[in-house]
Amino acid sequence: MVCTTLAWWLLAAGALAQETEGSTVEPTTSESAPAAPADATVAPVSASDDDMIEEVIVYGDLFARWDGTRWLIMTEMGVPYALMMASNENDQFRTNSFQVRAVIACDKDWKLGKKRYEVLCDVEDFSMQAGVQRSERGTKPLAQAERTLAEVDAKLTGAKLQLQVLDDGRVAQTQIEGVTTRNRRESLQNQLMNQVLDRLMSGFHLKLRKFNQLNEGDWLEYNSTLMSMPAPVNITPAGTNMVKHYLNHFEGHTLVQSIGRGMVSVPLDRETKTSGPEAIKNYKLDLIGVSIFDIDEGYMTERVWALEGTVTAGAFFDDGGYWYAGRIEMLDEDERPDLGPTRVINNRGEEDLNLPPWVAIER
């Protein structure tokens, strides 16, 4: 799509406003706001003689982005601990970095209230590439990792995702429809697949202003799902974050620039650490991102983001931190992007000649 290059250029070239300690935030230079769409209701807002009168565009369907739409999603992630991936055939491997790509087709399914809808999304295509621990790169462990990834691919290609979405742009819940849990191993598999899906879908989570207004300005979002941090099964990170969004009209596009900061605490492996303050690691989170909105429809059509989590100074050693980046793009009905193979690859920054390289997602 035409906007893809613009969004990545803004993110990479620094047109995105960045907030640092002791400095102010300056969003990109804006142009005049585009006219209201022809099918939208425009209501004047009362104002005093000294105030500027602003038009409020009332969109008829605040859930329109889920109404018969298709999406390309590409994400990559690295965590400072190992996540165990397992298959039904007793294959398993540990990874702390992976890339996921998917094409999904979504439809509104059931209205759950005035501000909430249940949405069903078909996974039309799916691929996953993952790094493995250096200690698991023998012929047999690599074969197990390949079989495990192939099973994850087979389970998620053609699967149905059940979402609960809010009218302000947030995604409240994501789960795979029709998944059964007959034993502990299947329960572990399902939890890990849901973590992968959470990272896949969290880019859709962007809280807008009241009535999804797309006038220029800024607003705050607290505890965004996009800035949450996944963890091994039975470990629950705790933290808080804040994202400031800036809406500008730039070269004919409606852009939302997002800058976020947060902190998350992660309990360490209790098999190797005792309880107490030393069993907790804290990570400082920083997010930057750019979204493109369709002002006629009132919803986001593309988003790119990059998040970095660095361990705080109180930690005993630096563990590589947490990083998470991705891209969402709305697709036309006839678009069929190539997602690439599902396979084991190098971890980011490694150069094992026996494995395919890690190729960053347009960063």
What is the structure's pLDDT at 350?
A: 87
| Residue 78: Cβ within 10 Å count | 20
Cite the DSSP H helix spans in the chain.
Answer: 2-13, 139-156, 184-201
| Residue 241: Cβ within 10 Å count | 22
Report which of 165, 159, 168, 220 is spatially closest to residue 193, judged by C-alpha positions: 159
For the segment(s) 2-7+57-344, the CATH number from 1.10.3470, 2.60.40, 2.30.230, 1.10.540 is 2.30.230
Measured in whole angstroms, how far is the alpha carbon of residue 48 from the centre of its chain?
41
In angstroms, the CA 99 to CA 127 distance is: 8
In angstroms, the CA 260 to CA 242 distance is: 6
Residues 6+ apart with CB under 8 A from 284: 261, 262, 263, 309, 310, 311, 312
What is the structure's pLDDT at 272?
A: 42
Number of residues assigned to the chain: 363
What is the structure's pLDDT at 232?
A: 75
Report which of 171, 172, 178 is spatially closest to residue 193, judged by C-alpha positions: 178
Report which of 347, 349, 348, 307 is spatially closest to residue 326, judged by C-alpha positions: 307
Domain locations along the chain: 2-7+57-344
Phi, psi (5° rounding) for residue 357?
-75, 160
Q: pLDDT tens, position by position, for the chain (363 residues)?
A: 444 555 655 665 454 444 434 444 444 444 444 444 444 444 444 444 445 455 666 566 889 999 999 999 999 999 888 888 888 778 888 898 999 999 999 999 999 988 999 999 999 999 999 999 887 788 888 999 999 999 999 989 999 999 999 999 999 988 888 776 677 777 777 777 888 888 899 999 999 988 778 889 999 999 999 999 887 777 778 899 999 999 999 888 999 999 999 999 888 655 444 445 557 888 999 999 999 999 888 899 999 999 999 988 765 555 778 999 999 999 999 999 999 999 999 998 888 878 999 999 875
What is the structure's pLDDT at 312?
A: 86
What is the structure's pLDDT at 240?
A: 94
